[in-house]
Amino acid sequence: MPNLEEFRAKIDVVDDQILVLLNERMNYVKTIGEIKQNSGGTIYRPERERAIINRLKNTNFGLLDQNAIEAIYQEIFAVSRNLEMPQSVAYFGPEGTYTHQAARSRFGAMSRYIPLATIEDVFKELIHKEAKYGVVPIENNTEGAVGVTLDCLGKYQELKIFGEIYMDIHHSFVSLNENLKDIQRIYSHPQGYNQCRKFLESHGLNLVEFVPSKSTANAAYLASQDRYSAAICSKIAAKLYNVPILFDTIEDNLANRTRFLILSDIKNPKMDNCKTSILAHTAHKPGGLSDLLYEFKRENINLTKLESRPVKAKEFLHSFYIDFEGHIDDENVQRALKQADEIVWLGSYLSGEKNEI
């Protein structure tokens, strides 16, 4: 029969070796950080991090799958960046929201996080140099684009899209009480509650009193103060307020996915698998938009998103938010954009789609 203590001792030895190697890695990171600071180089290089994970994925033959490798190394990368230079990240709060969870997934536990009340507040925080990076939602695959974010991208043109994060949105059912029959109230944001109707019905919870909260994070807090209640919230909110998760992934639509933007004042260099975002103002005449789209087709540029937004300063005029494959400095992109009346470049950045890491 296997000896439990013997295997624990082997794990201790491995942990000691891992710690030695991590410290060796961080010594190299610190030296690289000093070189970057002297040369003015960018600390955060998403394309380098992706190349590392893709290389490890291709050389991995153990029990860890790609998601596990990414989760471990994203935290290692975040620690490394903070060693090179401490990172401050503003995000659309409060704490425990899905935007907070998205920010933590990319910037790790060591970064300084600044929750803000509105999306525009995040842009202002970056403009005032109170944070280096910002994280805001841009679109959801079931609810569409976030108009406030699109408007702020046009308004605060000093900032650029530095990266993007696609995150599956999973709701959890959390409570201090393990007995579902004792639960008298369910706290959640109305949107979160409505997205979990089938789960509630199948567990006989649809007749329990629903108490709306201002956010799913606030719902977790309320449940942490009330033993005869439960909350529908994110994992990070449950962890933040120490409320046990009774059921995970309870939403009706398991394909619920949100795209978040990472904002900064940094321009990314040209790289493989790049995406660019622009605001295009076309001529106010028949065929104005189709003329621009034809230029993209002629230059063999693939569009990934097209969204119309009203120009609030001009009655009944519209601009177009466009995502496409490529970098703003690519020659074919420059040729295509010459045909637009006015272009606002919002950023060129590494695509966050899951076909890579």
Q: What is the pLDDT tens value at each position of the chain, 357 positions in all?
A: 678 888 999 999 999 999 999 999 999 998 988 888 788 777 888 888 989 999 998 898 889 988 899 889 999 999 998 888 888 999 998 888 899 999 999 999 889 999 999 999 999 999 999 999 999 999 988 778 898 999 999 999 999 999 999 998 899 999 999 999 999 999 999 988 999 999 999 999 999 999 999 889 999 999 999 999 999 999 999 999 999 999 999 999 888 889 999 999 999 989 889 999 999 876 666 667 788 889 999 999 999 999 887 776 555 467 889 999 999 999 999 999 887 778 899 999 999 875 443
Helix (H) or strand (E) holding 15: helix 4-39
Per CATH, 86-169+257-264 and 172-248 having the same topology is answered yes
Using CB atoms within 10 Å of the CB of residue 216, give its burial: 0 to 12 exposed, 13 to 18 middle, 19+ buried. buried
Enter the tokens of residue 47.
């394309």
Going by CATH, does the domain composed of 274-350 fall within 3.30.70.260?
A: yes
* Residue 273 dihedral angles phi and psi, to the nearest 5°: 55, 45
Give the C-alpha separation, 350 to 272, whole Å: 8
Domain 172-248: assigned CATH number: 3.40.190.10
Instruction: Name the pTM for this structure.
Output: 0.82
Give the pLDDT score at 141. 83
CATH T-level fold of 86-169+257-264: D-Maltodextrin-Binding Protein; domain 2 (3.40.190)
Give the C-alpha separation, 166 to 261, whole Å: 9
Domain 4-83 belongs to what architecture?
A: Up-down Bundle (1.20)
- The residue extents of the domains of the chain are 4-83, 86-169+257-264, 172-248, 274-350
